[in-house]
Amino acid sequence: MYRQGDVLIVPVTKDAVPPHVAVAPKERRDARGRLVLALGEVTGHAHAVVGPGDLVRESGPFGPLLLHLPQGGRVVHEEHAAIALPKGWYRVIRQREYVPGSVRIVAD
């Protein structure tokens, strides 16, 4: 398991990846060629993956992301140390915060 700020990255086996992910639309890379896992609304900083791979967003307001890194990669952020990830599949989960009457995604 890996954590960078408010992003949790959990390795999953290939067998645990839902079959629809193979045909699901992939998230686009940003202008710098990164797969953005979480973007800071205030700072503009991003938790992002550098390296070859795909990112698929699951449905729902808090739907996790599924990340496939066929050769491994690095998670980078302007205010955190980079994290090396070995090749494989990962579930990316944003930290949530309870606010009376609702739940919200934690933001930078």
pLDDT at 42: 62
Query: Are the CB atoms for 55 and 66 separated by under 8 Å?
Result: yes
pLDDT at 69: 96
Greatest extent of the chain over all pairs of C-alpha atoms, in Å: 43
In this prediction, residue 39 has a pLDDT band, given cuts at 50, 70 and 90, of confident
* pLDDT tens digits for range 48-76: 999 999 999 876 555 568 999 999 999 99
pLDDT at 71: 96
For residue 93, what are the contacts with CB-CB under 8 A and spacing of at least 6? 7, 8, 9, 10, 64
The structure's pTM equals 0.81
- CA–CA gap between residue 41 and residue 28 (Å, rounded): 18
Higher-confidence residue of 106 and 65: namely 65
Is pLDDT at 80 greater than 80 in this prediction?
yes
Per DSSP (E only), the strands in 24-72 are 35-39, 46-50, 54-57, 65-69
Q: Residue 32, SS3?
A: coil
Strand partners, 106: none
Average pLDDT over residues 73-100: 86
- CA–CA gap between residue 82 and residue 80 (Å, rounded): 6
pLDDT at 62: 52
- CA–CA gap between residue 79 and residue 75 (Å, rounded): 12
